[in-house]
Structure 1
Amino acid sequence: MDDHSGHVGTVEESAVTTSAELLSLKDGGVFLVADSQGDIVGAADGMFDNDTRILSQFVFLVGDVKPAPLSHGLSKDNAVFTCHGANRTLPPVGERNTPRGVVHIERKRTLWRGRMFERIRCTNFGLDEVMLPISFDYAADFADMFEVRGVKRPARGQLFPTDTDGRRAVFGYQGLDGETRRSALVFSEPPWRMTTHRADFMFSLPSEGRLDLHIEAGQLVDEVPSAERFAAAVSGARRAIVERRRRGAGLVCSDHAFAAWIEQSRADISLLTTDLETGAYPFAGIPWFSTPFGRDGILTSWQMLWLDPSLAKGVLTYLAKRQATAMSRFQDSEPGKIMHETRKGEMAALGEVPFGLYYGGVDTTPLFVALAGAYLQRTDDVALIDAIWPAVCKAMAWIETYGDSNGDGLIDYQRGAESGLTNQGWKDSEDSVFHADGRLPQGPVALVEVQGYAYAAYRAMAQMAERLAEDDPEVWNRKAEVLRERVEERFWMAEHGYYGIAIDGEGELCATETSNAGHLLFSGLPDMHRAGQVIRRLRSPDFDSGWGLRTVAVGASRYNPMSYHNGSVWPHDTSLCIAGMARYGERLGPVKLLDDLLQASQTFNLRMPELFCGFAREMGEPPIAYPVACVPQAWAAASVFLILQACLGINISAARREVRLIRPMLPMGVEGLTLQGIEIGDARVSLSLRRHEGGVSVTPEAGSDRSIAVVLQS
């Protein structure tokens, strides 16, 4: 995902890199990241509660070595982690020697109500009794998330000595913010030896015998781990995810590979979605971004809007309540601006980083307004728009009052303090905006896609004002047209048939070809002729890697397919460009790119990462992973749904009680697709789409509300 707060302080590479595959579980504000055998070693992994690492080491040993791995993975619903292993040769006890591979070891783990529940099951398949030595190394450093990412602090609080009581290790930390943080690790059986950092067990396991050891970690509770508590936790975690996945319309597909990708993507969205007081909110990604982000929440919910409007409702409500009310250079805030990021850790509380409530995103405010308009069209939920209308109006006031800092009519940014983000669009790494010769621009910087978002915001204001009978809609339409003409005049590069990425503080165009221009198509700003030129360029080999669209065209001065933003492939970015193509009638490109991403997803176990390298596709070779990408990541997981919408050409208007499909095309290899239970106001409709020689047929399923018009437009 976007680099967000990644450029605060000095980030050491070792702090954010791990050689092991990391697997994640999440429940509310708590998440756990461990390696493929379930161990936490204290690098980029751990158990985190509200941006604080409450378990920094948890290593399971059998005979003082890690078990030999057999297999591992997450359940399809992302609720349960399971690892299978076997003993290595055990040290002799008396004259008895236990060879390798006699004892099967299963680790099964879930998160529920902010606690880790784990069961270690050992089964002896040997002919002889086994004396089985089991140990756990553990620690809790209470490191702030930004410390884990490598930011150096001038001082830390005080760690308390670990307290043990025979089956429990209690960890504590007194933060510089005055908060006392505690966590505990508890075993169902008392170990024969327990120290401040290690628990040792010795079990006698008869032939064909089995034993279960239950462990819990998290906030202090009095209960002792048990089989009943573990079963209840697994059931509760799965039930919560099922309830989240039932929201919105369902998709049933005839193609196994595509159906599996849809299933995994839906599961990842469910995992990352947290039910807050304001409604459902998709947290951005694990491990670095398991918190509400403005831009990410808006775009993820927009990608899912046609299927599940509840995400957009939750995002809009949450962000409206956290709109800036004052000016702060440290927080990059002005009245009316929409939040970029929020954190709850010690460093944020102390102001060591500005991200407790940070507004350093230039695009989040216009995207907020534009999403509100898209949500109204999809749902006709006038009550929600009326409730957030004051926030919407304040957001537009920010665009018109503070968004243009130098009076040139364009929305721009320049950070207020050195601790803030240098670049404040979605490509927010330090070198992601540059001139054709590689120079970095001086601020304030006006990004091309942000002008598109502002254009969409003006159009949305006209739509909402008309529906709410609040203002003259044409005022907003005229402002949109003025901005459109300004963008066409200042960003268009006639010699390239493309738009430059930005205009710097000197008024000079950064004449670099990037995927940012594809977001203009998503906003609907260009005319048909220029949109066609942009689409052709995006589909050229300089952008199209064969696995998705690169963020920067091959040949640009800072192009690097291994970089974070300058030549890599970001699935969400590709999805917005594809949606933009579809807006202008393109269907073949979206279908081809959807198939490319499907095949790429198979390399990543159907779980789309935040990004991957932008090397050109080679026959018989997989895409190349970006080593520290967030997985799972919300807007990457949601990309398939926006691209599928683009392929189907589907648009839903609740006010007109209409589902319109414009020249729909099914994904490659998919002969049939069923959309189940699309909610339109108080009605539901299900559609069956089938491929035939002349195109795609669309048929309402039995039980669909007949008051909903289904329009197939060729």
Structure 2
Amino acid sequence: MSDAVKLTTTEEDLSGKDVDRSKTTLELGERQFVAVDPAEILGWPCTTTPNQQPTLTIKDNDLFLITDTSGNIGGCVDAHMDGSVGLFCQDTRFLSRLELQINKKAPVFLSSTAQRGFALSVLCSNPHLSDDMGAETIAIQRDIALQGGLLEELTLTNYSTHPVTFELSLSFAADFADLFEIRGRQRPKRGQLMRQDESPNSIVMAYLGVDQILMESRVTFYQQPPKIIEGYTAVWQLTLNDHETICLGYRLEPIINNHKASAVDLPTTLKQAVAAETQEEEHWRDSITRLRTDNHALNMIIERAEKDLYILSQTFGEGNVFSAGVPRFSTLFGRDAIITAMQTLVLNPTMARNTLVILANYQGQIDNQWREEAPGKILHEIRLGEMARCGEIPHTPYYGTVDATPLWLMLYADYYNWTGDQELLEQLWDNALAAMGWIDRSLEPTGYLTYEQSSEGGLRNQGWKDSWPCIVDAQGKLGEGDIALSEVQGYVYATKVRMAKLARQKKRLDLAERWEQEALQLKERFNQDFWLPEQEFYALAIDGSGQVMDSITSNPGHCLGLGILDEAKATKVAQRLQLPDMSSGWGIRTLSSKSPAFNPMGYHIGSIWPHDNSIIATGLRAQGHVTEALEIAQAIIDMTNAQEYSRPPELFCGYDRRPNVSPVRYPVACSPQAWATGAIFQLLHMMVNLIPEATTNCLRIVGPVLPESIQHLSLENLHVGNAVLHLEFERSHKATACRVVSKRGNLKVIIEA
């Protein structure tokens, strides 16, 4: 805490067990805070009850808000039972209650939308209140937006033919719960809820953490301040003439140690916030490739995906990268950020550059068992909340991922192919060598890149399928010890091939020849050890005892197109993935429905993930299985078209597709989610098959094929190296033609039928 903070308590240490919290005071400049008992905070009676309600989700940079469809965060819901609602920043819930009442009753819900992504709108009315004020007399429009904080305006209109008088209240509360605490992690102790003495025309909720960091939620009223503030409830006594309209407005700013918690500045009014967000989103759209088709439903999906990628962009240090998803993963994840950047190279290579640089800044430097850090390793996840700051979780950052490091190297090479960015190639070369060094050291014991949990606070499984029951053999038995995943070996092979090419460019022939030889040896070893002759498929993994995890899964599908699979075996993989136990009609399942471990509602043991399918489809395309690739693409597009806001979820349940039955939602899937959103652009890119070679000023377009649902596809503002293109693709009589509409810059476009 800063030198200006003065803490007084009856005990020597606030974190001691026998602290008399009622006598704890804290001075911050001229402001004074006193400890408050949680039982005192509710005060104003609540009207909502805990149940499974639909929600509205909005996000801006490092803030996200989840409310019920009325825009409320109910005060009667146990904070630790319902972690899906609240205002969050830096992995902390800065608002755990936001409840609108009229004469102490819940308004009548009419409609709501969170279509804009960073803002939501709710229309509601009053219930029957008296003989003079029947139901649906007052229209209440709630508009909420995020930018550096939460801003809300309530517009009330009296539609009766006479004046009406009523009471309107807004109740606030902030529990400052850590996101991991909400998700069920037990804490040895918590800090102290505080309140500020004498804060006229404002509400200040505060919490002094175990680490002595003071967090605040400051509510100020900038339009029609309330008549009274009772505890944490603002109360207006209103009289509206017939057809009169009034507007109330406030803003809430999250504060940490007297500094803004968000990387974004808080504007003065809601109107300013909406204007600033709209301008920023327009700037984002102007910077990316514009993909449009003649299919209206698909265009809606594309436009939604463009908007969601903007929403998921989040500031870390000096740049923005894609956070993984809302609500549980609204932070930097190595694997997720890298894969999303790969998927969207066709859209905006700048995000790939930012991802490479920011992850390089966090690259492992030492061996640390708690964080599973090692020199050269790329992080898995970083967290900023109280539990991370206090060392209760290892996410500062946490490095428990086996695949983020080879994926980072693959992105490093792919980004260079798209941009020819020599400056970044040189800037990150030492980071690339460090990453290769970690891979090579990890390969030494078994010849494969493996993982095994070493941190008590870490993950048991450390591939993209990281839930505990997902690495199983054909009998459903869990793998033990060091796990070598099939797709990870494919990533390592691709990394060595691509890095060898870059080494040749840098005149490091020693490295190039070594990596090429190691890639060939890995390929030979992999095809011998992982191939299942009877199943004519590759194993999911090999565990620490040498046991082959012989279940049929989607994992080997990631190896398609990477070059590690023998040609004939790759064809067998492509065919096997299309059988009904793997292909549901909505996409490829994570695990065969014939497995004893199969559960269509399981997170990684039968569900369907859009990003998993887009990677597989891209691999099928590269192997020449175009029809199968297009079938997967169409299935994912159809699934997305059936979702609210035309937004693909993180995952959905792996039930068979049936006529007139929508895909079954996974109850706690993140939405929006980065690599699910990126899958849309990866699938479109797969169709047109662009192969950039920016270093030679060349773009190859190899055998573009549009599905029956798309007759026309255009790509405007496409960046390859320093050139900008406008391409159009037309489907006619099952053939797809490509035309270069315009081109600026030195680039040769080669179209190969």
> Which TM-score band (shorter chain)?
over 0.9
Alignment partner, residue 252 of structure 2: 217
Q: Distance in 1 between matches of 2:156 and 2:268?
A: 18
Q: For residue 543 of structure 1, what is the amino acid of its counterpart?
A: M
Identify the residue that residue 569 of structure 1 maps to in structure 2. Answer: 608
CA distance in 2, matches of 1:266, 1:354: 33
Deviation at 1:523, TM superposition (A): 2.5
Amino acid at match of 1:711: I
Aligned match of 1:591 in 624, 630, 633?
Answer: 630
How do 1:464-503 and structure 2 match up within 5 A?
Answer: 464-472=502-510, 473-503=512-542
Following the alignment from structure 1 to structure 2, what is the Cα–Cα distance between the partners of residues 537 and 278?
45
Task: Say if 1:193 and 1:678 are closer, same or farther in 2 by CA, change over 3 A.
Answer: same
- Counterpart selection for 2:52 from 7, 19, 29: 19
Indicate whether 1:412 and 2:447 are aligned.
no
Aligned equivalent of 1:4: none
Matching residue within 281, 291, 294 for 1:254: 294
Alignment partner for residue 569 of structure 2, among 530, 534, 551? 530
**CA spacing shift, 1:517–1:222, aligned 2, 3 Å:** closer
Corresponding residue of 1:450: 488
* CA distance in 1: counterparts of 2:111 and 2:613, whole angstroms: 33
Deviations 1:124-149 (A, max 9, x none): 22212122321112101111111111
Aligned residue among 301, 305, 329 for 1:289: 329
Listed one character per residue, the Cα deviations across residues 189-221 of structure 1 (whole Å, up to 9, x for unaligned) are: 332332223222121111111011112112369
Describe the SS at the equivalent of 2:695: coil
How far the C-alpha of 1:164 sits from its partner, in A, is: 5.7
**Are 2:483 and 2:542, in contact at CA under 8 Å, matched by a contact in 1?**
yes
Once the 2 structures are TM-superposed, how far is the Cα of residue 99 of structure 1 from its aligned partner? Answer: 1.2
Aligned mate of 1:97, from 132, 135, 144: 132
**Residue 698 (structure 1) shift:** 0.7
TM-score for the superposition, normalised by structure 1: 0.93
Alignment partners' CA distance in 2, 1:215 and 1:157 = 28
User: Quick one: which amino acid aligns to residue 229 of structure 2?
Assistant: M
2-structure distance, mates of 1:222, 1:391: 33
User: What secondary structure sits across from 2:728 in the alignment?
Assistant: strand
Aligned counterpart, 1:190: 225
Deviations 1:263-300, CA, capped at 9 Å, x for gaps: 10111111001244443300111111111110000000
Contact kept, 8 Å, 1:372 with 1:460, in 2: the verdict is: no
Which has the larger displacement, 426-435 or 64-73?
A: 64-73
Aligned to 1:38: 71
1:123-522 alignment runs, 5 A limit = 123-161=157-195, 163=197, 165-187=199-221, 188-219=223-254, 229-401=269-441, 403-404=442-443, 407-472=445-510, 473-522=512-561
Taking the aligned partners of 2:494 and 2:606, their CA distance within structure 1 comes to 27
Q: Post-superposition shift, 1:186?
A: 2.2
Question: 2:242, 2:569 → 1: CA distance?
Answer: 75
Whether the 8 Å CA contact 1:491–1:499 is kept in 2: the answer is yes
**1:4-83 counterparts in 2 under 5 A?**
19-41=52-74, 42=79, 43-44=82-83, 45-76=85-116, 78-83=117-122
Q: Measure the CA separation in 2 of the matches of 1:32 and 1:245.
A: 23
Whole-Å separation in 1 of the counterparts to 2:61 and 2:483: 36
In structure 1, what is the Cα distance between the partners aligned to 2:705 and 2:197? 63
Query: Is the 1:79–1:238 contact (alpha carbons within 8 Å) kept by the matching residues of 2?
Result: no
CA distance in 2, matches of 1:427, 1:193: 52
SS of alignment partner, residue 358 of structure 1:
coil
Superposition deviation, residue 521 in structure 1: 0.9
Which residue in the other structure is 1:665 paired with?
Answer: 705
Q: TM-score, normalised by structure 2?
A: 0.89
CA pair 326-80 structure 1, distance change in 2 beyond 3 A: same
Contact 1:524 1:580 in 2 (8 A): no
In structure 1, C-alpha distance between the alignment counterparts of 2:66 and 2:348, rounded to whole Å: 28
In 2: Cα distance, 1:66 partner to 1:433 partner: 48
By how many angstroms is 1:629 displaced? 0.6
Moved more, 386-395 or 662-671: 662-671
Deviates more, 1:388-397 or 1:45-54: 45-54
Residues 536-565 of structure 1: per-residue CA shift (max 9 Å, x gap): 111221111111111001111211000110
Task: Determine the C-alpha separation between the residues in 2 that align with 1:710 and 1:19.
Answer: 54
The CA deviation at 1:668 is: 3.4
Alignment RMSD: 1.9
Confirm or deny: 8 A CA contact 1:168 1:185 kept in the other structure. yes
Contact 1:293 1:340 in 2 (8 A): yes
- Cα displacement (A) at 1:522: 4.4
Q: Which amino acid aligns with 2:451?
A: Y
- Between the two structures, name the one with larger relative contact order (CA 8 Å, sep ≥ 6): 1
CA drift at 1:692: 1.2
- For the 8 Å contact 1:167–1:189, the answer to whether it is kept is no
Identity of aligned residues (%): 34
CA contact (8 A) 1:685 1:708 kept: no
Aligned amino acid, residue 624 of structure 1? V
Q: Secondary structure at the match of 2:439?
A: helix
Distance 1:708 1:18 in 2: 58
Q: Give me the whole-angstrom Cα distance separating, in 1, the residues matched to 2:196 and 2:72.
A: 20
Q: 1:48 to 1:488 in 2, by over 3 A?
A: same
State how far apart, in whole Å, the 1-side matches of 2:389 and 2:752 are: 54
Secondary structure (helix, strand or coil) at the match of 1:202 reads strand
Cα contact 1:71–1:84 (8 A) shared by 2: yes
List per-residue Cα deviations over 1:354-403 (Å, max 9, x = no partner): 112100000111111111111111111111011011110000000011x2
Compare 520-529 and 227-236 and name the one that shifted more.
Answer: 227-236
Give the secondary-structure state (helix, strand or coil) at the position aligned to 2:725: strand
Corresponding residue pairs, total? 687
CA contact (8 A) 1:71 1:83 kept: yes
Taking the aligned partners of 2:144 and 2:621, their CA distance within structure 1 comes to 43
Give the match for residue 649 of structure 1. 689
Deviation at 1:612, TM superposition (A): 0.5
**1:524, 1:583 within 8 Å by CA — same for their partners in 2?**
no
SS in 2 for 1:161: strand
Deviation (angstroms), 1:86: 1.8
Structure 1 residues 647, 343: closer, same or farther in 2, change over 3 A? same
Q: Secondary structure at the match of 1:25?
A: strand
Query: 1:547 corresponds to which residue?
Result: 586
Corresponding position: 1:111 with 2:146: yes
- Offset at residue 435 of structure 1 (A): 1.6
Is 1:164–1:194's contact at 8 Å kept on the other side of the alignment? no
Moved more, 164-173 or 568-577: 164-173
2:22 corresponds in structure 1 to: none
Task: Give, in angstroms, the shift of residue 650 of structure 1.
Answer: 1.9
Q: Which amino acid aligns with 2:449?
A: I
Please give the alpha-carbon distance, in whole angstroms, between the structure 2 residues aligned to 1:706 and 1:339: 37
Aligned-partner Cα distance in 1 for 2:658–2:369: 48
Secondary structure of the corresponding residue to residue 655 of structure 2: coil
Matched-pair contact (CA < 8 Å) for 2:589–2:609: yes
Q: Which letter does structure 1 place at the counterpart of 2:237?
A: M
Gaps of 5+ in 2: 1-49, 261-265
| Structure 1: unaligned runs, 5 residues or longer | 1-16
Aligned-pair CA distance for 1:437: 1.3
Instruction: Give the match's secondary structure for 2:428.
Output: helix
User: What SS does the aligned partner of 1:359 have?
Assistant: coil
**Aligned pair in 2 of structure 1 residues 278, 590: CA closer, same or farther (>3 Å)?**
farther
Q: Secondary structure at the match of 2:443?
A: coil
Confirm or deny: 8 A CA contact 1:278 1:317 kept in the other structure: no
Asked if the contact 2:89–2:254 (Cα under 8 Å) also holds between the matched residues in 1, the reply is no
Q: Conserved in 1, the CA contact under 8 Å of 2:722 and 2:746?
A: no
Question: 2:68 is matched by which residue type in structure 1?
Answer: D
Pair 1:435–1:677, CA change in 2 (3 A): same
State the Cα distance separating 1:625 from its structure 2 match. 0.4
